[in-house]
Amino acid sequence: MAEKVKVVQMGLGPIGNRVTEILAERSDIEIIGAIDSDPAKEGRDIGLLAGLAPQGIKVTSDVNQVLGAKDVDAVILTTTSSLAKTYDQLVKLLPYGVNVVSSCEELSYPWESNAELARKIDELAKEHNASVLGTGINPGFMMDFLPIVMTGLSRNVRKVVVERIQDASSRRLPFREKIGAGLTLRKFNERVKEGTLRHVGLSESVQMMAGSLGWKLDSTEDIISPIMAERQSQSQIETGTETETQAQAAESDKVLGVQQIGRGLVGGDAIITLVFRAAIGEPNARDRIVIDGTPAIDLVIKGGVNGDVGTCAILVNAIPAVVEARAGLRTMVNIVPPRCFQ
Amino acid sequence: MAEKVKVVQMGLGPIGNRVTEILAERSDIEIIGAIDSDPAKEGRDIGLLAGLAPQGIKVTSDVNQVLGAKDVDAVILTTTSSLAKTYDQLVKLLPYGVNVVSSCEELSYPWESNAELARKIDELAKEHNASVLGTGINPGFMMDFLPIVMTGLSRNVRKVVVERIQDASSRRLPFREKIGAGLTLRKFNERVKEGTLRHVGLSESVQMMAGSLGWKLDSTEDIISPIMAERQSQSQIETGTETETQAQAAESDKVLGVQQIGRGLVGGDAIITLVFRAAIGEPNARDRIVIDGTPAIDLVIKGGVNGDVGTCAILVNAIPAVVEARAGLRTMVNIVPPRCFQ
């Protein structure tokens, strides 16, 4: 057996703690440090925080105490969805020459949305001979990486449509809150306006796909709408009609969840369409990839893949690929494909 | 636009000619040579052989005439399913420092089936700073690469079952002949015994999956059986029961096609099961990947992906990934994932 990969977990919120659970199961990986800026977590055992037996690793807010003292292969960074905040953290981490796998959605493909920060991260990583990757189930896999992988079988591709339809009934509370389930329509609309209610990363998925397939887009769209009880008719869901509830529903009506549609357009024509729907009681939960090309491909994962498990698993599974990757800012399509190595 | 990738097509049988069609469509690739050992093809234009307009590239049997005179990035090698024969050809090609993408099924993952030749190819490629890949839709994608990619979302995996079920009715004659459709049962059994009727690569797919997931197998199986008309009952197909027709059918009965099952076993338990079925009138054509693990994943491509198109497309799509790959014998899981770049 090869030597274990030495990993530091940074960011011990809900995602970070689930990552700890998976790291603790892996025979090929060793947790050798834990970092979080929350003073309430200082000195606590990373295992206890995750609901496991103690792992003998205490949380500290001092990056240098962990990275300055030990030989670390990779940091799993689960702190923020914001590229700007992630950049500030990378500035502290990369000088230690560590590779970084992050759940930051905006880091998954920042080359179009924020080319300047992308370039700065790429240069900083190369300067310190380290690799950086943003991944997760979405963005990072279902609505970008997997459709791109499927085009490996394509002689040509005209259009790609991806659906990720989730029933939030069985999901944990933070997820239901994230999609606005239970809010009044008025509150939902306020939160959309504030920018605090949206699935982060749909534009990044559109851009990753366009960049990987060599498509120059004229424009992109990212449209959020509420899903209301009275609109849950099967015919609308099957035809993919966008909800137009706001005109019909009262402001005090309760929202079941969110629909967000991302598009990549060329000459007014959507050659990339990503449909993300998550709501309480949403029927026909699935992940689906339809490639209009030669050959035609219609791939369905019935029930869909659980997002919490999938995101934490891919963060861990990506470590070996990122450690061996060329230095710089990587994306899911320019590393070797992560797999569950047990 | 970056400079075009310079490609030589070697082997101008049915697959090679279809590859030519795709190469001719690509703006990022330039065909700069054509090699075939058949004297009847000597001097003929590669475009005319593929049913296209002339491409200005004449076929030669002289490897040195093409590779010795020009700066070639990659050779697409579509000559044989045999690793031993491929090795003999690689010995002639690799000293020119060219990368090779081959449809040779046994080359897709030879590390278990023929470790000595795998090592020799790996060393030869490294000596000449070239990369070598064996790929195709199967082996190379549907029954190995794609299931492995899907485990990127897995916290753990207990078992993997892959089905590739094809209706041969609409496929070209060589495919129907390959699967034994129309043979008498006696002739089918003779050809299985001779080794001339089998899907090559099922063992390689089992081994690629085991190697990629870190599974040590106790043994593998690769079992071929005929599909007979009277056995085409829906219930048997759905339950995946192996055909047991030989006891019931007369030797003169006609065969509809073939079923081949590959298994990877640990302690008598099949942790990898690959079911390949191809027959005239086969219902429920599909590609399916079922991952028993956390999370559970059940992926279905209705109708399945056309094998002729898929194989030729992935050979072409893999070129950029192989050109940029580290030197040596590569497999689909240790290069960046090929995609359809247009």
- In this predicted structure, the answer to whether residue B207 has a pLDDT above a threshold of 70 is yes
Judge contact between B223 and B258, C-beta under 8 A: no
C-alpha B66: how far from chain center: 26
- In this predicted structure, the answer to whether residue B198 has a pLDDT above a threshold of 60 is yes
Residue A25 has what pLDDT? 95
Tokens of A280: 């309480």
| b/e burial code for range B186-201 (CB count within 10 A of at least 16 → b) | ebbbebbeeeebbbbb
Judge contact between A75 and A94, C-beta under 8 A: no
Residue among A151, A144, A145 nearest B309 (CA): A151
Q: CA A239 → CA A226, A234, A236, A275, distances in Å?
A: 17, 9, 5, 12
DSSP at B128: T
Band (B175; pLDDT cuts 50, 70, 90): confident
Distance from CA of A273 to the nearest CA of B (A): 18
Q: Do A153 and B314 lie within an 8 Å CB cutoff?
A: yes
Band (B232; pLDDT cuts 50, 70, 90): very low
Band (B141; pLDDT cuts 50, 70, 90): very high
Chain A residues within an 8 Å CB radius of B312:
155
At B287 the three-state DSSP class reads: strand
Judge contact between A73 and A7, C-beta under 8 A: yes
Judge contact between A338 and A316, C-beta under 8 A: no
Nearest to B309 among A151, A294, A298 (CB): A294
- The verdict on A148 touching B (C-beta cutoff 8 Å) is yes
Residue A173 has what pLDDT? 85
| Range in A105-114, A130-139, B228-237 with the lowest mean pLDDT | B228-237
CA gap B172, B49 in Å, rounded: 18
Q: CA B7, B8, B12, B15 torsion: positive or negative?
A: negative
Model ipTM value:
0.94
CA gap A167, B172 in Å, rounded: 43
Tokens of A189: 């609309």
Q: Do B299 and A303 lie within an 8 Å CB cutoff?
A: no
- The verdict on B1 touching A (C-beta cutoff 8 Å) is no
Q: pLDDT digits over B251-298, tens only?
A: 888 999 999 999 999 999 999 999 999 999 999 999 999 999 999 999
Residue B230 has what pLDDT? 66
The type of residue at A146 is L
Q: From the candidates A15, A103, A339, which should be mutated to test the interface with B, based on the most B CB atoms within 10 A?
A: A339
CA gap A236, A29 in Å, rounded: 47
Q: pLDDT digits over A186-221, tens only?
A: 999 999 999 889 888 999 999 999 999 999 999 999
CA gap A61, A11 in Å, rounded: 10
By CB atoms closer than 10 A (0-12, 13-18, 19+), residue B341 is: buried
- In this predicted structure, the answer to whether residue A168 has a pLDDT above a threshold of 70 is yes
Chain B residues within an 8 Å CB radius of A146:
149
Q: pLDDT digits over A273-312, tens only?
A: 999 999 999 999 999 999 999 999 999 999 999 998 999 9
Tokens of A167: 């029933």
Residue A299 has what pLDDT? 98
Which A residues in the span 266-305 are in contact with B, Cβ-Cβ below 8 Å?
Answer: 293-295, 297-303, 305
Band (B172; pLDDT cuts 50, 70, 90): confident
Residue of chain B minimizing CA distance to A290: B301
Q: pLDDT digits over B7-29, tens only?
A: 999 999 999 999 999 999 999 99
Question: Average pLDDT, whole number, for chain A?
Answer: 93
Chain B residues within an 8 Å CB radius of A24:
none
Q: CA A189, A191, A193, A196 torsion: positive or negative?
A: negative
Nearest to A310 among B141, B145, B295 (CB): B295
Residue B251 has what pLDDT? 81
Chain B residues within an 8 Å CB radius of A301:
297-300
- In this predicted structure, the answer to whether residue B238 has a pLDDT above a threshold of 50 is no
User: For tokens 């690509």, what's the residue?
Assistant: B26
Higher pLDDT pick, B235 / B6: B6
Residue A232 has what pLDDT? 46
Compute the average pLDDT of residues B67-85: 96
- The verdict on A42 touching B (C-beta cutoff 8 Å) is no
Distance from CA of A43 to the nearest CA of B (A): 28
- In this predicted structure, the answer to whether residue A243 has a pLDDT above a threshold of 70 is no
- In this predicted structure, the answer to whether residue B337 has a pLDDT above a threshold of 80 is yes
Chain B residues within an 8 Å CB radius of A149:
146, 149, 337, 339
Q: Do A301 and B301 lie within an 8 Å CB cutoff?
A: no
Distance from CA of B134 to the nearest CA of A (A): 14
Q: Do A339 and B299 lie within an 8 Å CB cutoff?
A: no
User: For tokens 């030869």, what's the residue?
Assistant: B124
Residue among A115, A133, A126, A136 nearest A15 (CA): A136
Q: pLDDT digits over A250-273, tens only?
A: 788 899 999 999 999 999 999 999
Q: pLDDT digits over B299-331, tens only?
A: 999 999 999 999 999 999 999 999 999 999 999
Sheet (strand A74-77) strand order: A59-60, A29-35, A5-10, A74-77, A99-102, A131-134, A328-330
Chain A residues within an 8 Å CB radius of B212:
339, 341
Q: Do B318 and A151 lie within an 8 Å CB cutoff?
A: no
Task: Tell me if the bond preceding A295 is cis, omega within 30° of 0.
Answer: yes
Q: Where are the domains of chain A?
A: 5-135+310-334, 145-304
By CB atoms closer than 10 A (0-12, 13-18, 19+), residue A172 is: exposed
Band (B248; pLDDT cuts 50, 70, 90): low
Judge contact between A266 and A215, C-beta under 8 A: yes
- Written as one string, the DSSP assignment of B249-285 is S-TTSBEEEEEEEEEEEETTEEEEEEEEEEETT-SS-
At A21 the three-state DSSP class reads: helix
Tokens of B317: 């799509």
Q: From the candidates A144, A155, A212, A336, which should be mutated to test the interface with B, based on the most B CB atoms within 10 A?
A: A155
Ramachandran region, residue A97 (left: φ > 0; alpha: ψ -120 to 50; beta: rest): left
- In this predicted structure, the answer to whether residue A170 has a pLDDT above a threshold of 90 is no
Nearest to B214 among A302, A318, A342 (CB): A342
Residue among B223, B40, B339, B297 nearest A310 (CA): B297
Q: Do A212 and B339 lie within an 8 Å CB cutoff?
A: yes
- In this predicted structure, the answer to whether residue B222 has a pLDDT above a threshold of 50 is yes
Rounded (5°) CA angle A131-B322-B81: 140
Question: Average pLDDT, whole number, for chain B?
Answer: 93
Residue B252 has what pLDDT? 82
Q: Do A309 and B153 lie within an 8 Å CB cutoff?
A: yes
Judge contact between B195 and B134, C-beta under 8 A: no
Chain B residues within an 8 Å CB radius of A310:
153, 295
Sheet (strand B99-102) strand order: B59-60, B29-35, B5-10, B74-77, B99-102, B131-134, B328-330
- What is the pTM (predicted TM-score) of this model? 0.94
Q: Do B149 and A154 lie within an 8 Å CB cutoff?
A: no
Residue of chain A minimizing CA distance to B212: A341
Q: Which fold has domain A5-135+310-334?
A: Rossmann fold (3.40.50)
Residue among A222, A227, A271, A191 nearest A106 (CA): A222
The angle that helices B115-127 and B83-93 make with each other, rounded to 10 degrees, is 10
Work out the end-to-end distance of chain A between its first and last CA atoms, rounded to an integer number of angstroms.
12
Compute the average pLDDT of residues A20-34: 96
Residue among B277, B258, B331, B310 nearest B15 (CA): B310
- In this predicted structure, the answer to whether residue B62 has a pLDDT above a threshold of 50 is yes
Which B residues in the span 303-332 are in contact with A, Cβ-Cβ below 8 Å?
Answer: 303, 305-306, 309-310, 312-314, 317-318
H or E element: which one contains A148? helix A145-150
Judge contact between A289 and A150, C-beta under 8 A: yes
| Range in A80-84, B244-248, B337-341 with the lowest mean pLDDT | B244-248
Residue among A101, A107, A121 nearest A11 (CA): A101
Q: Do A314 and B153 lie within an 8 Å CB cutoff?
A: yes
CA gap A27, B246 in Å, rounded: 47
- In this predicted structure, the answer to whether residue B124 has a pLDDT above a threshold of 50 is yes
Nearest to B299 among A148, A151, A299 (CB): A299
Distance from CA of A155 to the nearest CA of B (A): 5
Which A residues in the span 204-263 are in contact with B, Cβ-Cβ below 8 Å?
Answer: 212-215
Q: In chain B, what percentage of residues exceed pLDDT 70?
A: 94
What are the residue ranges of helices labelled H in chain B?
A: 14-25, 46-49, 63-67, 83-93, 110-113, 115-127, 145-150, 173-178, 185-194, 202-213, 234-239, 307-317, 319-324
Phi, psi of B241 (to 5 degrees): -60, 135
